């Protein structure tokens, strides 16, 4: 039985509440979600049989604005995971000072076993089941694990048909042709790159001379790997669901991306120079920078002491447990926390939402300039607070994020 991510998220709240002397009543408030919807999703399969899947949509906090958060399709999805992800979205939006709250959704399904038509029917039915708690003023979904721009298009279509007009602002991460934003797809990876540059600058590291290991080779891991490779950095190991490839002289990321974008896995890539390793072996590979960009709870108290890196840049949500955090801190490993490091996605999602509402679209240069400005401002705030109070970057990030939410609750009051 793996770690429960909701319990991890609540433990993180307790840690920061103690550090900042938060009112116990507010701590209690923040450890609960505002609402959680569980839905049944009946789908008539291509062979005429009926399958029924379970789906979720959770709002953790909407005190600072509409909910914002992805939808993931995975056989591991459950309510507690979605609750935890919604909580982390709250902190992420707050830390970047975006006028949004935290939400998340998911369907317990293996999308690889569905045809495109089955996937479309599943998505459309799921959308119709959660339609009353999503919308531009309520909650704005986006892509996440195993979902993409096409799935967002179907969600937008169902919502728009019910409203009798086109409502592009109901989701972000859409194709540009129907109200999506340029720069949205690589935004999380781009944000990671800005954070890594900033962290290396603070530590007086030359980024191009660092060895880098990346767990996860999807949109986020693939994007940051590509950016680093193009900058001349040495990415020595990457992995996907099938396992990883290691080459101490640096992998040819462009060729690996071309291979995986054709639907192939890294395990089947043929290059005699590359050594095949497991995902657990990849995490403990000696390197300067480790980027976990896959799933939560992969660095725990069981493997944290075996990590041999200087910086961990969290591309995934919740990849390091609180117990592991302490071990890493004691080892002198700098962890750039998820709510800061991977905030690029929600930041450009916010830009897309603003563009949809105003029906006025920006150039890519403006997107990247605004993204960098917002992320570096948040990074400086977090880094300065961590130095001032001699605390982990994660604790500093949480203090800033939780303080803003707590202040909003205090100002608005508890109804009635």
pTM of the model: 0.94
Q: Which domain-ending residue is among 306, 324, 339?
A: 339
CATH of the domain at 325: 3.40.50.720
With beta carbons less than 8 A apart as the criterion, state whether 194 and 372 touch. Answer: yes
∠ CA(305), CA(311), CA(315), 5° rounding? 100
Domain check: are 194 and 324 in the same one?
A: yes
Within a domain: residue 7?
no
Number of Cα atoms under 13 Å in the Cβ half of residue 262? 9
pLDDT class of 1 with cuts at 50, 70, 90: low
**Token digits for 299?**
């660095």
Which of 279, 304, 339 lies at the terminal end of a domain, its last residue? 339
191 with 158, same domain: the answer is no
pLDDT at position 79, please? 98
Measured CA to CA in angstroms, residue 102 lies from 94, 140, 171, 257 at distances of 9, 10, 14, 32
Read off φ and ψ for residue 51, nearest 5 degrees: -115, 145
366 lies in some domain: no
Question: Taking a C-beta distance cutoff of 8 angstroms, is the pair 168, 179 a contact?
Answer: yes
Calpha distance 319→195 (Å, rounded): 17
In a domain, 299, yes or no: yes
Is it the case that residue 118 has pLDDT exceeding 60? yes
Token pair listed for 379: 């990074």
Task: Determine the structural domain holding residue 272 and report its residue range.
Answer: 187-339
What tokens does 271 get? 């290059």
C-beta separation of 136 from 66 below 8 A: yes
**Can you read off the two tokens belonging to residue 120?**
């479309």
Q: Give the pLDDT score at 274.
A: 97
Q: Provide the domain count of the chain.
A: 2
What is the pLDDT of the chain when averaged over all its residues? 96
Tell me what pLDDT residue 339 has. 96
For residue 12, tell me if it sits in a domain.
no
Beta-bridged to residue 56, according to DSSP, are: 38, 106
Q: Are 99 and 222 within one domain?
A: no
Task: Quote the CA–CA distance of 51 and 149 in Å, as a whole number.
Answer: 24
Residue 53 lies inside a defined structural domain of this protein = yes
In this structure, how many other beta carbons lie within 10 angstroms of the beta carbon of residue 31? 16
Residue at 359 is within a domain = no
pLDDT bucket at 255, cuts 50 / 70 / 90 = very high
Catalytic residue among 92, 104, 234, 372: 104
The answer to whether residue 2 scores a pLDDT higher than 80 is no
Q: Return the CA Rg of the chain.
A: 21
Alpha helices by DSSP H, listed for 131-252, are 149-163, 187-202, 219-230
DSSP H/E element including 138: none
Residue at 345 is within a domain? no
Q: Are residues 219 and 86 in the same domain?
A: no
Domain identity same for 202 and 312: yes
Where does a domain end: 290, 310, 339? 339
Judged by DSSP in three states, 86 sits in: helix
In the block, tokens 């955090």 appear at 325
Residue 216 sits in the same domain as residue 110: no
The kind and range of the H/E element at 326 are: helix 322-331
**Checking DSSP bridges between strand 101-108 and strand 243-246, what pairing results, if any?**
unpaired
pLDDT in tens, 310-335: 999 999 989 999 999 999 999 999 99
- Find the CATH number of the domain harbouring 100: 3.40.50.10860
pLDDT tens track for 180-205 = 999 999 999 999 999 999 999 999 99
Question: DSSP label at 173?
Answer: S
Task: Map tokens 């840049």 to a residue.
Answer: 313
For residues 86 and 145, membership in a common domain is answered with: yes
Q: Is 107 helix (H, G, I), strand (E, B) or coil?
A: strand
Same domain, yes or no, for 163 and 279? no
How large is the average pLDDT for residues 30-56? 98
Instruction: Please check the confidence at residue 354 and state whether its pLDDT lies above 80.
Output: yes
Angle between helices 219-230 and 253-260 (to 10 degrees): 150
Establish whether 104 is a catalytic residue: yes
pLDDT for position 145? 87
Q: Is the pLDDT of residue 111 over 70?
A: yes
Within-domain flag for 267: yes
Strand order in the sheet with 35-44: 35-44, 50-61, 101-108, 67-74, 139-143
Whether residue 335 sits in one domain with residue 204? yes
Q: Return d(Cα 154, Cα 184) in angstroms, integer.
A: 18
> What one-character-per-residue DSSP string does 387-406 give?
HHHT--HHHHHHHHHHHHHH
**Same domain? 207 vs 328:** yes
Q: What is the pLDDT averaged over residues 119-143?
A: 98
**Domain shared by 201 and 283, yes or no:** yes
pLDDT tens across 274-324, in order?
Answer: 999 999 999 999 999 999 999 889 999 999 999 999 999 999 989 999 999
pLDDT at residue 47, rounded to an integer? 98
How many Å apart are CA 142 and CA 155, to the nearest integer? 10
* Residues 324 and 193 both lie in one domain: yes
pLDDT at site 180: 98
């Amino acid at each position: 039985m793996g770690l429960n991510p909701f319990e991890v998220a609540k433990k993180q709240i307790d840690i920061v509440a103690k550090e900042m002397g938060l009112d116990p009543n507010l701590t209690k408030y923040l450890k609960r979600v505002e609402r959680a919807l569980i839905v049944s999703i009946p789908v008539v399969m291509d062979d005429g049989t009926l399958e029924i899947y379970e789906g979720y949509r959770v709002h953790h906090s909407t005190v600072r604005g509409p909910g914002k958060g992805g939808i993931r399709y995975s056989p591991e999805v459950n309510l507690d995971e979605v609750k935890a992800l919604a909580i982390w979205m709250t902190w992420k939006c707050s830390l970047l000072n975006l006028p949004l709250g935290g939400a998340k959704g998911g369907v317990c399904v293996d999308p690889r076993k569905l045809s495109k038509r089955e996937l479309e029917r599943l998505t459309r039915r799921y959308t119709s089941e959660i339609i009353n708690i999503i919308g531009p003023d309520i909650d704005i979904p986006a892509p996440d694990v195993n979902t993409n721009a096409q799935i967002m298009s179907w969600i937008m279509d169902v919502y728009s048909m019910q409203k009798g007009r086109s409502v592009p602002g109901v989701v972000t991460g859409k194709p540009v042709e129907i109200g999506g934003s340029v720069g949205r797809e690589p935004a999380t990876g781009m944000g990671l790159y800005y954070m890594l540059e900033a962290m290396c600058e603070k530590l007086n590291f030359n980024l191009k001379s660092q060895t880098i290991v990346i767990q996860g080779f999807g949109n986020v891991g693939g994007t940051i790997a590509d950016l680093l490779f193009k900058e001349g950095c040495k990415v020595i190991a990457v992995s996907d669901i099938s396992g990883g490839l290691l080459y101490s002289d640096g992998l040819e990321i462009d060729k690996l991306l071309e291979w995986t974008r054709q639907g192939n896995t890294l395990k089947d890539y043929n290059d005699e120079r590359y050594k095949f390793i497991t995902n657990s072996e990849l995490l403990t590979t000696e390197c300067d920078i480790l980027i976990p960009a896959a799933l939560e709870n992969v660095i725990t108290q069981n493997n944290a002491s075996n990590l041999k890196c200087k910086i961990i840049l969290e591309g995934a949500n919740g990849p390091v447990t609180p117990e592991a955090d302490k071990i890493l801190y004691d080892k002198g490993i700098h962890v750039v926390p998820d709510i800061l490091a991977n905030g690029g996605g929600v930041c450009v999602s916010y830009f897309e939402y603003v563009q949809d509402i105003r029906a006025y679209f920006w150039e890519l240069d403006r997107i990247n300039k605004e993204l960098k400005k917002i992320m570096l401002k948040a990074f400086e705030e977090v880094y300065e607070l961590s130095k001032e109070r001699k605390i982990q970057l994660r604790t500093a990030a949480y203090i800033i994020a939780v303080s803003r939410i707590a202040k909003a609750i205090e100002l608005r009051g508890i109804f009635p």
